[in-house]
Structures are given as C-alpha cells and as structure tokens.
Structure 1
C-alpha cells in the first residue's frame, strides 16, 4: 500500500508542469464591497463555477479591486473572434480552481493574486508553496505599482466588458464561495464552450478532471 507521502507526491511533476510553464498574467477588475473583499484570504483555494472572462491587457483601473491571475490554461478567444480582440478577451474554463497567493493593498485599491491550478492539485497546493510563487508575487506587485499610475484602457471600460467582469471570482450571485465539495453543472448551451476551451488550451488530461461529484443539472439547464 502506498504511504501517505508517496501518494501525495505521486503527481507532483505533472501538477507542476500543468500549472507553471507558459503561465501568463491576466486581469479582471471589479468593484467589491468591503465586507465581500474581506472574505478573501491568502492561501485560500477557490473554485469558480462559471466561465471566467479575463484580459491579457493590463492598464490602470477605475475599480477598487483587481484580480490578477497567473494561468497557463486561458483560451485566447481574441485570436478566433475579431469582435473581442479589442478587449484582449481570454476565458478560463468553468469549474476552475485557484489558490490565492497574495492580497496587496495600495491606497484605496486591492489586488488579489490568483494561481490557476488543476482540479487534482488542490491537496498539493494546500500544502506546498514554491520559489516560483514568490517570483510571481513580486511580479504581480510590481505590475500593480506601475499600473496604478496610468489610465485604464478605454476598451475595458466599455459597458459590454464591464458587464462580463464586474463581479467577484470564486463566488456565486449571493457573494458566497462556491463549494469545494462539488462542482457546478455545465449548462447545455455552455458545453460547446467548455469543450472548446479544453481543446484550445490542450487541457485534455485527467489531471484537471475533478474527482468529486457534480451537482445535478436542473431540467432544461
């Protein structure tokens, strides 16, 4: 029988290679009430139940919260849809998991730094930090320091983009964190996008298939 340590370390290399190589910083700005913002804690693992729209364009922000996300598995939708190129539109798949690496406050604004991790990497990232994380954190802080002094990108202030992004990562419409004990069913109309993102990002291994139960999908959903 495997001992607990060998089982824990079994997929370490695969988890590392899924997470770090090719990871790019993406941006998502929103306005959050303080009581919501204070719920986020460094080291916390989040599951995001919906498709997460982000931008590779990182200018200044007129919002009080910036989510900056390091991900190697964000689909570059702007490359296949010229209508969203101006937003630098990328999308991270539904039921993705993140670890909060850092929360950084600068005057009246807060940056929450998330690392996109595979579904089967939750135990690993709940117990392990790496030097790469520290390098990423330093890079993210520097980004926020520099961009705090510049104007927002005009396209990212457009109503269409703001409506897609002006709500918190990892929470439902009631500002409650999505459970880590189950996953959210993909709506029928979202299955094409879900599978498309997996193919575009070459995310087709079992490493990012959640081993936990998916909630029942309501009829017609």
Structure 2
C-alpha cells in the first residue's frame, strides 16, 4: 500500500465511530432556486461556515427542498431552552463538514441527504463509500417517500423558524459554497455557543478540529480504483 493509501486509512476506526453510531436524522426545509439546488452533487464535500439550526421533527414538506442530515453530533438545544421544544430545535456547530450521500427527487420536490463527518475524515470520505452509507440512503429515501404526502408541521412554518432555516446548507449569502481550504474564525460572541455544542455532543477529540482541506483525489486515480476493488464500489 502506498503512502497516500496509508494516509487515507489513518484514524479510520475513530472516524467511523465519530460518524455512524448514534446518528439521527434531522430536517431543514427551504425554497431553493433550481440554479442553487443544482450545485449540490452526490459525493460532494461541504463545509458549513455558520451554526446550523435543524429540527428533530420530521413531517410533510411545504417547500421545494429538504436537507435531511444524518448526524451523531447535533446538540439538542431544545433541552436547554424548553421554549424551543416545539421546533425540535437542534444545532450543528460552526464549521461542520458533510458529504452529500444522495439527491432524491419526487413529485417536484428534492431531498438532499447529508452525512455529518469529522474534519479529519474528509480525505477518507472523499474516497470511500461504505455499506453503512447505502443503508442510510435507503432509510433516507423511505423517509421522503413516507413524509412527502404528510401535512407539514405547523410549528416549523412559523416566521421564527423560517428565518433560521430557509437557506441552503454550506453556502454564504452570495450562494457560493464555503471553501474547504479555509475555516471560520470563532468570534468572542460565538465562543460560548461553539463550546456548548462541543460539550453537549461530547465532541472534544482532535478528530473534529476544523482545518483547511486540500483534495489530492483525481478522477479514476489509482487510489480510487484501489478502493473500488477492495470495497466493491
């Protein structure tokens, strides 16, 4: 195995244990212009440069796009602030990273399925697709199949919630993706929430310390073919 291959598999067990056990589905619905929705592609890696509000409550979808997020590291803020319990308010930390596992379209609506991954796992998830991901995708599609004909949850249509959620994941105000090659500066005002989310989710290991990421992967490279051979992908 080459040096690059060894590097990709470094910390594999820790990466997997951070990502999959206890992963729960969270919901974020919004209206997106087709030109914006089309920028999301399967296999894409994304950095979200702001605190990401999501709901633990899943119902019908009123808008044209649902971001469905599988995460084991979302903080249940509604337990800290009971006033927001009816929104199922949860939050993912500043500079959370995701892999687009699936894009599913049904009855004129789109579900973009994201897997929350640690910063040290970007190189791994750039190259590897596992059976766990396939199982998640099946469950995500079943969720959309079941919920698309349900009534939307009225609480999640209130102005308070829409103001916090009606925009795409991983994009700035100019509808451009936050670059993976940089990270956000945690301001003094943001530090308490940033630290609280880490503590609430027990996300204090070095595996998820945000750092600039520079891709080394090339289309159909030797490492890509190697992984396809051993993993059957």
Q: Give the TM-score category using the shorter length.
A: over 0.9
In 2, Cα distance between equivalents of 1:141 and 1:212: 32
Distance apart, 1:7 and its partner CA: 2.3
In 2, Cα distance between equivalents of 1:212 and 1:169: 19
TM-score (norm 1): 0.94
Distance apart, 1:8 and its partner CA: 1.9
In the alignment, what sits opposite 1:192?
A: 192
In the alignment, what sits opposite 1:100?
A: 100
Residue 189 of structure 2 aligns to a residue in which SS? Answer: helix
In the alignment, what sits opposite 1:60?
A: 60
In 2, Cα distance between equivalents of 1:149 and 1:39: 26
In 2, Cα distance between equivalents of 1:93 and 1:82: 20
In the alignment, what sits opposite 1:122?
A: 122
Distance apart, 1:184 and its partner CA: 1.4
The alignment's C-alpha RMSD in Å is 1.1
Distance apart, 1:194 and its partner CA: 0.3
TM-score (norm 2): 0.89
Structure 2 unaligned spans of 5+: 214-233
In 1, Cα distance between equivalents of 2:36 and 2:211: 29
Residue 189 of structure 1 aligns to a residue in which SS? Answer: coil
Structure 1 unaligned spans of 5+: 214-221
In 2, Cα distance between equivalents of 1:159 and 1:58: 18
Residue 14 of structure 1 aligns to a residue in which SS? Answer: helix
Distance apart, 1:167 and its partner CA: 0.3
Distance apart, 1:16 and its partner CA: 0.3
Distance apart, 1:152 and its partner CA: 0.4
Distance apart, 1:88 and its partner CA: 0.3
In 2, Cα distance between equivalents of 1:164 and 1:187: 19
Matched, 1:27 2:15: no
In 1, Cα distance between equivalents of 2:79 and 2:134: 31
